[in-house]
Amino acid sequence: MLKVLVCVSGGGTNLQAVIDSIKDGRIKNAEIVRVISNNKNAYALERAKENGIPGTCVSPKDYGCREDFHKAFLDALREDAPDLIVLAGFLVVLPEEMIREYKNRIINIHPSLIPSFCGTGYYGLKVHEKVLERGVKITGATVHFVDEGTDTGPIIAQKPVQVNEDDTPKILQKRVMEEAEWVILPQAIDWIANGMVEVKEGRCRVLA
Ligand code: GRF
């Protein structure tokens, strides 16, 4: 059974998609052991509570310096000895020590088709604003392993989404979530939980 720990900062709709997918069997051999948020008001913590999943808030605001926050965050992670850490809208830069310790065991959902519209400053609604500004006709979402860079780790899954002429950033964000994020994040977790993903020379292969 893959022990999954989910890190969140906001509404938690991706967390909800994972919870629902475990319940309905789209994700097999995995369980969410804890949800950790840097934001005590994150509705994602409420979703965890409603589903009987332990929730913890580790906020940088509660620590005098970044190092103390990193230590508290790492201690909280290690307590559950997770096999996989899922960043589902987690807006905190991870400590390098954590990325080393959990090499190819941290995944992130990004709301574009990497390598487009990603990297520093590209998160949340900003991604969709830039997509519309550029006028691309297809966007989508990506699940990737987290490495030392920003949105640069090996890509596990992607799903395209049509951009419509009358889209606003909010309308587009909702479509990307519904049609792509909430589909490929559970899919990637199921593949990992069932030993179907291997990483070689910085690229993922899914052993379907
Ligand atoms: C999603 O759009 C995700 O792609 C991005 O942050 C947002 C999180 O939304 N990384 P939610 O908290 O899962 O609703």
Q: What is the CATH number of the domain that holds 94?
A: 3.40.50.170
Residue 175 CA, ligand 1 centroid: distance in Å:
12
Q: Residue 208: what pLDDT?
A: 74
Which ligand 1 atom is the nearest neighbour of the CA of 8? 12
Backbone angles phi, psi at 10, to 5 degrees: -135, -130
Backbone angles phi, psi at 132, to 5 degrees: -70, -40
Convert the pLDDT of each residue in 62-94 to its tens digit.
999 999 999 999 999 999 999 999 999 999 999
- What is the distance between the alpha carbons of residues 57 and 9, in angstroms, rounded to a whole number? 10
Q: How many domains would you assign to the chain?
A: 1
Provide the H-helix boundaries in the chain: 13-23, 43-50, 66-79, 96-101, 125-134, 169-176, 182-193
Q: Residue 138: what pLDDT?
A: 98
Residue 124 CA, ligand 1 centroid: distance in Å:
6
Residue numbers annotated as active site:
110
Please compute the mean of the pLDDT values over residues 151-177 and round it to a whole number.
Answer: 98
Range of the domain at 202: 2-206
Q: Which of 162, 160, 163, 156 is nearest to 185 (CA)?
A: 156
Q: What are the residues whose beta carbons fall under 8 Å from the beta carbon of 31, sequence distance 6 or more?
A: 1, 2, 3, 4, 22
**pTM, entire model:** 0.97
Please compute the mean of the pLDDT values over residues 17-45 and round it to a whole number.
Answer: 98
Q: Whose CA is nearest to atom 5 of ligand 1?
A: 89
Please compute the mean of the pLDDT values over residues 147-160 and round it to a whole number.
Answer: 96
- What is the distance between the alpha carbons of residues 193 and 124, in angstroms, rounded to a whole number? 27
Residue with tokens 């400590």: 95
Q: Of 150, 151, 177, which is best to mutate to test ligand 1, by the most ligand atoms within 8 angstroms of its C-beta? A: 177
